[in-house]
Structure 1
Amino acid sequence: MNHHPGAWGQPLPAHAQFDMFNPGQSYRQAPKAAPITHTQQPLVTGTSVLGIKYEGGVMLAADNLASYGSLARFRDIQRLHPLGKQTVIAASGDMSDFQWLKKELDSILREENGLSLTDSHPSLSPQHIYDFLANLFYARRSKMNPLWNAMLVGGWDNKKNESFLGFVDLLGTTYSAPTLATGYGAHIATPLLREAYEDKAGIDGKGPLLTAEEAEKVLADCMKVLFYRDARSINKYQTATVTSEGVKISDSKSVETEWGFAESLRGYGAQNQ
C-alpha cells in the first residue's frame, strides 16, 4: 500500500512504481467492457398459439411444449400469461424472450396499479398493453435486436364493453381480427377458425357469435390438427378465457387422437412395402 496522500485508497500492483510527479495517477486498469451481443436466432421455442372471439369474451389456446431445436425438451411450459384481471398474452417463438417480456410487463402493471390506487389513473386495458407491445417490438426490431416472438393479446375492455384480440410479431407487424393464429397454425388452423366463426356470425361478423362451448370445441379441433401436422407440437395444451368477470386459465388437457390409419402407410413400423 502506498501511503502518499495522492494515492490514498488506491492500492498499487507490486511491479508499479509511484510517480512522484503525478501523485494522483491511478495504476488500476480500467475494466474492459464486454462486447454488446444480440440473440441471432431463437433456441428454445414454442409453436402456434390460437385465439377466437366468442359471445361474451375471447378464448386463447397454446400447447405446453418448448422445443430445443427438434428435441421436445420441456413438456410443461405455460405459454399463456395473465396480465391483470382483463388481459392474457399468448406467445410463440423464443421462450427466454417471453420470460423477459413477462417480467417487464408484470413490473409495468404493478407500477400502473399502484398509481390507480392513489389517484384516478385508470388501469391498463388490453388495447393499452397491445399498443405498448407494438411499439416495443418495432423499437427492438429497429435496433436490430428483435424479440423473437409472435404474440396474441386477448382481453375484455370494460370501457367499451367488448372483447379484444390482437397480433404482434418480431417485426412490429400488428393487426386485429376475430380469429388469429401464429406460427404453423396461421396456415392450417386459421381456415378452421374462420370457417367456424363465419358459419355462426356470417362473413360480415354481424350475426350471433359462438358460445363458449362452441369456441372451446373449435380450439380443441384445431389443436388436434396441429398435433397431427406440426412436428413441434404436443397433445397437451391449455386454454385461457377472458370475460367481463376476469381471466381463467385451464389446467393442461389433451384431445383424443386416432393413429390407426398409419398402419396402412408405407414405411410405418415394420412394414417395408
Structure 2
Amino acid sequence: MKPIGKHSLLGASGEISDFQEILHYLDELILYDNMWDDGNSLGPKEVHSYLTRVMYNRRNKFNPLWNSLVLGGVKNGQKYLGTVSMIGVNFEDNHVATGFGNHLARPILRQEWHENLSFEDGVRLLEKCMRVLLYRDRSAVNKLQIAKITEDGVTISQPYSLKTYWEFSAFENPAQGAIGSW
C-alpha cells in the first residue's frame, strides 16, 4: 500500500517490480500536478481514471503490468473506492477485492457490509474475510495492515497477525474421502 497525493491510497497484488513502475508513473503525475501550484490536487477519481488508462495502454502494447490495483480515497467529503485489473478492466463499488478475494471475500462483504459500518466493525469484517482467504490458501501469510483514509490524510497500521485456529478436524486430512486423490 502507498499513499498517492493528499487524498488517495493505492494497494496492489501481483508483481512487485510492476507495482514499482506504477508508483513511478504516479510520482511523476503528482509532481506534475503540484507544479501548477493552483491549490488544487488530484483526487481519487482522477488517479483511478489515470490508472485505468495506464493499465489498458500497457495491455494494448502486449506488455501488461501484472498487477491488480485497488484505489481508495476521500476528497471534498466524497468517498471513492475502485479497482483496476492488469488489462484495464475497472469499476467502483462500496467494496472491492482482487484475486481470490473476488470469489471468497466479496460474497461475505455483500452480505455483511452496510453504509453505517463503524471503523471497528469494518476492521472486524475485513479480518473475517482475510481469515477465510488464509484458510483457503496454505501458502498465504497471516499478517495484514489496515489503512484509514479521511479528509485529513491516510494512516496505515503496523503489520499484525490474525488469530487463527488450525485444529479443525477438516484440516487434519483434507483429501480424505476425495475421489481420485493421492
Relative to the length of structure 2, the TM-score reads 0.90
Q: Is 1:237 equivalent to 2:144 in the alignment? A: yes
Q: What is the rounded CA distance, in whole Å, between the counterparts of 1:263 and 1:231 in structure 2?
A: 14
Q: Is 1:178 equivalent to 2:85 in the alignment? A: no
> Which of 75, 95, 103 is 1:187 aligned to?
103
SS at match of 1:179: coil
Q: What is the rounded CA distance, in whole Å, between the counterparts of 1:157 and 1:107 in structure 2?
A: 21
Mapped contact 2:144–2:162 kept (Cα < 8 A): no
Q: What is the rounded CA distance, in whole Å, between the counterparts of 1:211 and 1:126 in structure 2?
A: 22
> Which of 56, 59, 84 is 1:168 aligned to?
84
Q: Larger relative CO (CA 8 A, sep 6+): 1 or 2?
A: 1
Aligned partner of 2:146: which letter?
Answer: T
- Total equivalences in the alignment: 175
Per the TM alignment, residue 168 of structure 1 is displaced from its structure 2 partner at its CA by 0.6
Aligned twin of 1:94: 15
Structure having the higher Rg: 1
Percent identity between the aligned chains?
A: 37
Distance 1:236 1:264, change over 3 A: closer
SS at match of 1:92: strand
> Which of 212, 222, 231 is 2:129 aligned to?
222
User: Where does the alignment leave 5 or more consecutive residues of structure 2 unmatched?
Assistant: 176-182
> Which of 135, 155, 167 is 1:248 aligned to?
155
Per the TM alignment, residue 124 of structure 1 is displaced from its structure 2 partner at its CA by 0.6
User: Where does the alignment leave 5 or more consecutive residues of structure 1 unmatched?
Assistant: 1-79, 202-208, 269-273
**What is the root-mean-square deviation of aligned Cα atoms in Å?**
1.8
SS at match of 2:34: helix
Q: What is the rounded CA distance, in whole Å, between the counterparts of 1:165 and 1:106 in structure 2?
A: 20
Structure 1 runs (4+) deviating above 6 angstroms are none
Q: What is the rounded CA distance, in whole Å, between the counterparts of 1:189 and 1:234 in structure 2?
A: 16
SS at match of 1:103: helix
Mapped contact 1:137–1:172 kept (Cα < 8 A): yes
1:223-254 per-residue CA deviation (whole Å, 9 max, x = no partner) reads 11111112342101111111112100110011
Mapped contact 1:184–1:230 kept (Cα < 8 A): no
Aligned partner of 1:254: which letter?
Answer: S
1:130-161 per-residue CA deviation (whole Å, 9 max, x = no partner) reads 01001111111111111111101100022xx2
Per the TM alignment, residue 257 of structure 1 is displaced from its structure 2 partner at its CA by 0.5
In proportion to residue count, which structure has more helix? 2
Relative to the length of structure 1, the TM-score reads 0.61
1:102-142 per-residue CA deviation (whole Å, 9 max, x = no partner) reads 122122212212322xxx26211001100100111111111
Mapped contact 2:64–2:86 kept (Cα < 8 A): yes
Distance 1:267 1:192, change over 3 A: closer
